Amino acid sequence: MNRKYALLTLVLLSSCTHTPPLPKYDKVPLFTMTDSNGQPFSSTALQNKVWVADFIYTTCPAACPMMSARMKVVHKDIAGLSDVRIVSFSVDPKDTPSALKAFGSRYGGATPDWIFLTGSPETVHHIAFDIFHAGDILGKIEHSTKFILVDRQGYIRGYYSSLAAEGDTESDEHAIPELLKDLQTLRKE
């Protein structure tokens, strides 16, 4: 009899899964940059929205086109969701709004829900290096290939691989679905 209860308890406990809350990293401060239409963009437009950020530049010879192709998958998945945005920050202050618009358009971006931004070297450095810990533009341009999830209150909640490490298809295969799952979780918070 005790074995039956032990087995039943084990089955019931194993069927209950609790997903731990997503971590909370730095809060993204208010910022103003220039969008791909040459207009000022205030981060207040992102308040009460869940958003995915990445760091690219239009003359990038390697990772950026691959990252943007992957972000296109995310963009298709969030189509029609009024409370979700994608923000691609250029880490090259020389990227003009028209260059960003042309680059974004190749991937289905530079739209109201996928925003491409540029700014002064100081602003770009502050956002990329100090806030997102995803790049540096002082000296040579360096940036992370991570997609970064931000909640409605402006807190960074996760970093996701946009590209597989050489020879590693496992992490790449699961990163985008994990990002999309976590994005939906944040939409419910």
In this structure, the number of other CB atoms found within 10 A of the CB of residue 104 comes to 23
Joined tokens for residue 30: 């208010």
pTM recorded for the entire structure: 0.85
User: By mean pLDDT, which of 36-50, 124-138, 171-185 is the weakest?
Assistant: 124-138
The topology (CATH level 3) of 21-188 is: Glutaredoxin (3.40.30)
The pLDDT tens digits of the residues spanning 85-140 come to 999 999 888 899 999 999 999 999 999 999 999 999 899 888 988 899 886 655 55
Task: Tell me the domain boundaries of the chain.
Answer: 21-188
C-alpha angle 108-109-111 in degrees, rounded to nearest 5: 115
Residue 164 has a pLDDT of 59
How is the chain split among helix, strand and coil, in percent rounded to 5?
A: 40, 25, 40
* C-alpha to C-alpha distance for 130 and 132, rounded to whole angstroms: 6
CB 53 within 8 A of CB 150: yes
